[in-house]
Amino acid sequence: MATFPLEPFRIKAIEPIKLTTREEREHLIANAGYNLFKLRAEDCYVDLLTDSGTSAMSDAQWGALMQGDESYAGAKSFFRFEGAVKRIFGMSYVVPTHQGRAAENVLFTVTVRPGMQIPSNMHFDTTHANIAARGGRPVNLIADLGLDPTSHAPFKGDIDLEKLEHFIGLVGPQNIPMGMLTITNNSGGGQPVSMANVRATSELLHRHDIPFFIDAARYAENAYFIKLREPAYENKSTLEIANEMFSYADGALMSAKKDALVNIGGFIALRDADLYQRVCNELILREGFPTYGGLAGRDLEAMARGLWEGLDESYLAYRLAHTQYLGDRLVEEGIPILEPPGGHAIYLDARRFLPHIPQADFPAQALSVALYIEGGIRSVEIGSVMFAEKDPETGQMVYPALELVRLAIPRRVYTQTHLDYVVATCKRVYEQRANLRGLRIVYEPPMLRHFTARFEPL
């Protein structure tokens, strides 16, 4: 039986949503070129496109907006925000950015030169693209278990340390400006990374004098998974766990739009004074002065509160149980998902859902379109549209190991009834799965094609 996700909050303000008819949705998705990013949000009933920037803020956060100090330099709001980051991340230098990819752009601009390579368990797509945009090569070294959608291993986000050691030997530490871990691993199913793996990654990289950075978008969910699953940590607070995780790193990047429960914001946290100086110079060019970094003072206030609310254990217990509830209910209906449920999302396994559609015909995209037409649910493809690439040497298409549809759950937004509706919709699509067909691309941009590509049904 699915667990019972008890909400540690009640609803104070509501936002109306409406369910369109099936005929309307067929017309809307055709007009959008069968790309769910191109739909209007008001035409989606349950919008599970992303958990990024879609959180419901608390009364404390909304109240704090009025305390935003909008001074250009040295605003009070910056110091409140900086205090929260320093306490949780334990790093001396904190630089706000307007969101996660802006932090990536600034950091990689000052650290990556053409030909360099950055290993990670799995880079998120914007991280991948920002490294590539600087002429670098992002490399994913996730442990094989993390690519098996049926394995119930507790830490499927772990990097493969043997692969990492081999990679360092092959490429040479001088060509590796940093190694990274994405916690939790968004592109691999929102799966957590164990403390043991964070520690061992840090030791291995440092043995070769390679700096270690954490992509911390969902660090709080990762910390709570460690508390639940890694025996030595069951009696530690999530703050203590976060402190220990970051103690192994030289720096962190964070899209605060996830675990800091805000609608916009991000930052870079660093230990090294020289790197901080170079980051600040680049930041001034791209984002703004280092005490606001592309954000309003009120945004910094919301982040300062949200960082603490996102680490609260009653909230995290609810958050992971809420996501697990959706996963468990889908499994009860026999629907194939990536197991076990991740922190922020459930991933439908499109390869097992639609085995008759080859990857070249984008089965995960076809499934996400079907969920929209059936029930007005907006999801996102994380498969061949997002990650298939032409091998520069052979000219052959290389398809990703996982072909997923992500149902990302906005934080504190949808109720259990909404999740039950999602299950009922998935079930109806599953019953009709033999009738579904693939898609072909009729337009694609040179980079990050999933945002703007257009498709036609086959």
Q: Is 105 in the site for ligand PLP (CB under 6 A)?
A: no
Q: Give the HSE-up count for residue 450: Cα atoms under 13 Å, Cβ half-sphere.
A: 21
Which position among 77, 117, 127, 324 is part of the footprint of ligand PLP (CB under 6 A)?
Answer: 127
Cβ of residue 214: shortest distance to ligand PLP, in angstroms?
Answer: 10
Q: Is 118 in the site for ligand PLP (CB under 6 A)?
A: no
Cβ of residue 217: shortest distance to ligand PLP, in angstroms?
Answer: 4
Task: Please give the helix or strand (H or E) that residue 389 lies within, else none.
Answer: strand 389-390
Number of C-beta neighbours around residue 68 at 10 A: 18
Stretch that binds ligand PLP, among 69-77, 105-113, 124-132, 134-142 (CB under 6 A): 124-132
Number of residues in contact with ligand PLP, rule: CB under 6 A? Answer: 14
Which position among 35, 52, 121, 202 is part of the footprint of ligand PLP (CB under 6 A)?
Answer: 52
Q: Which of 181, 373 has the CB closer to ligand PLP?
A: 181
Cβ of residue 15: shortest distance to ligand PLP, in angstroms?
Answer: 21
Question: Of these residues, 9, 27, 60, 72, which one is catalytic?
Answer: 72
Tokens of 316: 């995290």
Task: Please give the helix or strand (H or E) that residue 406 lies within, else none.
Answer: strand 404-408
209 to 228, contacts with ligand PLP by CB under 6 A? 215, 217
Question: Of these residues, 43, 51, 160, 215, which one is catalytic?
Answer: 215
Q: Is 109 in the site for ligand PLP (CB under 6 A)?
A: no
User: How does 239-259 read in b/e, with b if 16+ C-beta sit within 10 Å?
Assistant: bebbbbbbebbbbbbbbbbbb
Q: Which residue is nearest to ligand PLP (CB)?
A: 100
450 included as an active-site residue: yes
72 included as an active-site residue: yes
Compute and round to an integer the Cα radius of gyration of the chain: 21
Q: Which of 130, 425 has the CB closer to ligand PLP?
A: 130
- Three-class SS of residue 449? helix
* Helical residues (DSSP H) of 32-124, grouped into ranges: 59-65, 76-89, 100-111
Task: Please give the helix or strand (H or E) that residue 278 lies within, else none.
Answer: helix 273-286
Widest Cα–Cα separation across the chain: 61
Stretch that binds ligand PLP, among 54-62, 97-105, 162-170, 398-406 (CB under 6 A): 97-105
Residue tagged 């986000």 (tokens): 157
Number of C-beta neighbours around residue 193 at 10 A: 27
| Cβ-Cβ contacts under 8 Å for 362 (sequence gap 6 or more) | 381, 383, 384, 385, 438, 439, 440, 441, 455
Question: Of these residues, 156, 227, 257, 258, which one is catalytic?
Answer: 258
Nearest partner of 27 among 39, 37, 18, 19, judged by Cα: 39
DSSP state of 313: H
Residue 15: phi and psi, rounded to 5, are -125, 115
249 included as an active-site residue: no
| Cβ-Cβ contacts under 8 Å for 93 (sequence gap 6 or more) | 269, 270, 271, 272, 273, 276, 279
Measured CA to CA, the distance from residue 85 to residue 436 in angstroms comes to 47
Cβ of residue 387: shortest distance to ligand PLP, in angstroms?
Answer: 14
- Three-class SS of residue 430? helix
Which position among 5, 100, 136, 294 is part of the footprint of ligand PLP (CB under 6 A)?
Answer: 100
Q: Which of 266, 336 has the CB closer to ligand PLP?
A: 266
Which position among 35, 61, 99, 222 is part of the footprint of ligand PLP (CB under 6 A)?
Answer: 99
Which amino acid type is present at position 8? Answer: P
Which position among 55, 130, 186, 425 is part of the footprint of ligand PLP (CB under 6 A)?
Answer: 186
Which position among 130, 182, 197, 368 is part of the footprint of ligand PLP (CB under 6 A)?
Answer: 182
Q: Which of 58, 127 has the CB closer to ligand PLP?
A: 127
Question: Of these residues, 45, 124, 155, 248, which one is catalytic?
Answer: 124
Measured CA to CA, the distance from residue 277 to residue 366 in angstroms comes to 47
Residue 408: phi and psi, rounded to 5, are -85, 135
Stretch that binds ligand PLP, among 77-85, 123-131, 230-238, 418-426 (CB under 6 A): 123-131
Nearest partner of 384 among 364, 407, 367, judged by Cα: 364
Which position among 255, 324, 368, 384 is part of the footprint of ligand PLP (CB under 6 A)?
Answer: 255
Q: Is 266 in the site for ligand PLP (CB under 6 A)?
A: yes
322 included as an active-site residue: no
38 included as an active-site residue: no
360 included as an active-site residue: no
Cβ of residue 444: shortest distance to ligand PLP, in angstroms?
Answer: 21
258 included as an active-site residue: yes
Cβ of residue 445: shortest distance to ligand PLP, in angstroms?
Answer: 18
Measured CA to CA, the distance from residue 236 to residue 222 in angstroms comes to 14
Which position among 126, 368, 379, 425 is part of the footprint of ligand PLP (CB under 6 A)?
Answer: 126
The sign of the dihedral angle between the CA atoms of 41, 330, 56, 71 is negative
228 to 247, contacts with ligand PLP by CB under 6 A? none
Positions in the binding site for ligand PLP (CB under 6 A):
52, 99-101, 124, 126-127, 182, 186, 215, 217, 255, 257, 266
Residues identified as active-site? 72, 124-125, 215, 217, 258, 450
